[in-house]
Chains A and B, each alone.
Chain A
Amino acid sequence: MPHDHDHDHHHAHAVLPSEPALRVKALETLLTEKGLVDPAALDAIIDTYQNKIGPKNGAEVVARAWADPAFKAALLADGTAAVSEMGFYGRQGEHVMVVENTPEVHNMVVCTLCSCYPWPLLGIPPAWYKSDAYRARAVREPREVLAEFGVTLLPTQKVRVWDSTAEMRYLVLPMRPEGTEGLSAEDLATLVSRDSMVGTGLAQGPAT
C-alpha cells in the first residue's frame, strides 16, 4: 500500500491571520504583489456572480420548457445542448441534466461530498446548500428536510435524490402550477424560485 499522503502534515494556512477577512486580504495582497492576480479581475468575477449569473437563468429555462413542449423534450433529452443554445453554458455547468418533477416523482439535488451546483443556471449556491446539515441529511431523510423548507409532497410522489458526485450538474424542472394557462414565458419565469430548481421548493401559482 502506498504511504499516507505527504500533504496531510502540511498546514501552511495556519500562518495566515486568524480573522477570515484579513486572511483573504493577505492572500489577495500577496498574489497581487507577485503579479499573479489582477484585483480588477476579482471585481469582475464577483460582479458576474452577484449581478449577471443567477437563478433567473434557470427560471428562464424552466418557463420556456413549460411553454414550449418541443423545447422541453429537447431539454430533457440533452440538457447541456438545450441550455447552451440559450447562452447558459459555462464553468460548473459543462454537463447538465434536467430532471422533471411529476405527480409520481419529486426530484431533489444535493452534493454530499462538497458543494457541486449548476452555476450558469443557478449562480453560487446558498449557504444552506453548502451546510453540513443539508449535505448530511438530504440523502438520508429527504422528506424531513423538505418539511423544513415547508414543502408538502403529493401522497403519490416518490422522492428521488440526486447526489452530485461527479461533474454532471442537475436542474430540477418543477411542475407547472395550476392557473397559469395563457401566461407568457416571461410571466411564468417569475413563478420559478431558485429552491424549486434544486427540489427544496415548489413553483408557486400566481398571486391572487
Chain B
Amino acid sequence: MSRIHDMGGRFGDGAVIPDTPDAPVFDKDWHARALAVTLAAGALGQWNLDISRHSRERLAPKDYSRFSYYEKWMAALANLLVEKGVVTEEELQAGHAKGGSPLADRKLMAANVGAALAKGGPVDRPGPTPRFKPGERVQTRHPTANAFVAGGHTRLPSYASGQTGEVRAFHGCHIFPDAHAHGRGEDPQPIYAVAFPAQALWGAGADPRDEVILDLWEPYLERADG
C-alpha cells in the first residue's frame, strides 16, 4: 500500500490557485530559512536525497495533511537529525546544544555554497543492460510497493500501478530510490519514460488523445502480453 504523499488523481482538493507574476520566491522569511537549513544539514552527508524524501512521506498522514510545505520539511529534518544521531531529542526540545559534534568539520561554509549548489548530485551510473526498448509495451507493478521494506520509499504512483504503457525513451541507469532510501546502496537500474493513455488511467471522460508520461525504473515493469 501507498502513503499519504501519493496523491496523483485524488479528488477533493479544489481549485489550483495561480500566483501573480510579482509573487515573492519565498512567501515568508521562515520559508527561505527552512529551505536553507535543510540544504545545509543535508550537506553534512548523513543522509541522501531519497532518505530525505522518504522522511517527509512517512510523516503521520494527519501531520502531512495539516502541515504547510515547509513545515513538512522542518518536521522531516528534525526527525532525521535525531534518527541519525546528529542531535539528541533532548537538544531538540531545549533548542540548544549540549555539546559539539564530530561532524563540525563537514559544515557547509558560506564561501562554498555557490560551488556546492552548482555541483549538484547526478544519479546516472553504470548499470545492467536494459530489458526494454522504446516502442515496447510494459505493465507496471501492482500494487505499488517497496519490494525490500514494508511501507518503504518507492516512486511508482498508485494511479499508474497495474497499468499498461509504452516505453518512449531509455534514460540510462539511475540510482534506485527503493534501495537507496533504505541503506541498500545505489543499486542502479535502467530507467524509462513510459507513456500511459489518459483514458486507461482515468476512464472514458478523459480526452482520448491525452497521455501521461512517468519515469519508471525497470524493477517496476514487466513485459506486457500481446
Contact = CB atoms under 8 A, between A and B. Distances in A.
Interface of A: 1-5, 7-8, 10-13, 15-17, 20-21, 23-31, 33-38, 40-46, 48-50, 53-54, 89-95, 110, 112-115, 120, 123-124, 126-128, 130-137, 139-143, 145, 148-150, 158-168, 193, 195, 200
A137 B198 CA distance: 13
B114 A48 contact: yes
A166 B217 contact: yes
Interface string B19-58: 1010101111110111111011100100000000101111
Interface of B: 5-19, 21, 23, 25-30, 32-37, 39-41, 44, 53, 55-60, 63, 68-71, 74-79, 81-83, 86-87, 89, 91-93, 95-97, 99-101, 103-104, 106-110, 112-114, 116-124, 148-152, 155-157, 159-160, 171, 174-175, 177, 191, 193, 195, 198, 201-202, 206-207, 209-217
Contacts of B71: 20, 23
Contacts of A4: 150-151
B20 to A, nearest CB: 10
B157 A37 contact: no
A132 B82 CA distance: 28
A190 to B, nearest CB: 12
A127 B100 CA distance: 36
A41 B108 contact: yes
A44 B114 contact: yes
A113 B6 contact: yes
A37 B86 CA distance: 12
Contacts of B108: 37-38, 41
Given A13-B59, A13-B79, A161-B213, 16 more contacts: A2-B148, A10-B83, A21-B30, A24-B30, A29-B95, A30-B96, A36-B40, A38-B40, A41-B112, A45-B39, A90-B118, A95-B123, A124-B25, A140-B8, A158-B209, A159-B198
Nearest to B50: A167
Contacts, number: 319
Nearest to B41: A31
B171 A95 contact: yes
Contacts of A36: 40-41, 44, 86, 101, 103-104, 106-107
A133 B13 contact: yes
A205 B10 CA distance: 35
Contacts of A5: 58, 149-152
B96 A33 contact: yes
Contact of B74 (A20, A140, A141): A20
A112 B120 contact: no
B200 to A, nearest CB: 12
Contacts of B28: 21
A33 to B, nearest CB: 4
Contact of A24 (B37, B123, B160): B37
A163 B123 CA distance: 18
